[in-house]
């Protein structure tokens, strides 16, 4: 599975801790991330992460384009809903694209844990069918 990870500044440490906790599951998949989040998670976990630009420089848009091309199977996007961000329209576009293309997305740790446990159980194996039809 191709998993994208994104975290707002105030949620980066939470994402790092999440990825440390679930490194055993994540290491079996291809991970991509916005630049700063990817760098921090890679340093903390040793996971091999494809890093795009930072979110404010368009990394979230790079991930959104991969979602639109059905190249992402799951998104872990730990958001800070209490802080206004200048690039929030881009984030809404990313969320919309996940809805349009039926990409499971977690926007907080609670749904992140549900998705990661589902991934481990095989609940997302239906995404593999999409890859075999390309």
Q: Which residues are catalytic?
A: 60
> Between the CA atoms of 19, 78, 90 and 71, what dihedral angle is there, to the nearest 10 degrees?
40
Beta-bridge mates of residue 106: 76
Is the CB of residue 49 less than 8 Å from the CB of residue 68? no
Beta strand segments in the chain, E: 2-7, 30-33, 49-51, 74-78, 105-106
Q: Could you give phi then psi for residue 46, rounded to 5 degrees? A: 80, 5
Give the Cα-Cα-Cα angle 17, 14, 99 (nearest 5 degrees).
115
């Amino acid at each position: 599975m191709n998993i994208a990870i994104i975290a707002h500044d105030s949620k980066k440490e939470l994402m790092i801790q999440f990825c440390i906790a679930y490194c055993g599951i994540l290491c079996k998949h291809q991970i991509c991330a916005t630049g700063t989040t990817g760098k921090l998670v890679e340093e903390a976990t040793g996971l091999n992460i494809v890093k795009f630009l930072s979110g404010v420089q368009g990394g979230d848009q790079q991930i959104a384009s991969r979602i639109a091309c059905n190249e992402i199977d799951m998104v872990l996007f730990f958001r800070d809903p209490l802080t206004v961000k200048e690039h929030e329209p881009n984030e809404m576009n990313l969320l919309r694209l996940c809805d349009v293309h039926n990409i499971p997305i977690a926007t907080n740790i609670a749904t992140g844990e549900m998705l990661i446990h589902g991934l481990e159980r095989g609940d997302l194996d239906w995404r593999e069918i999409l890859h075999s039809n390309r």
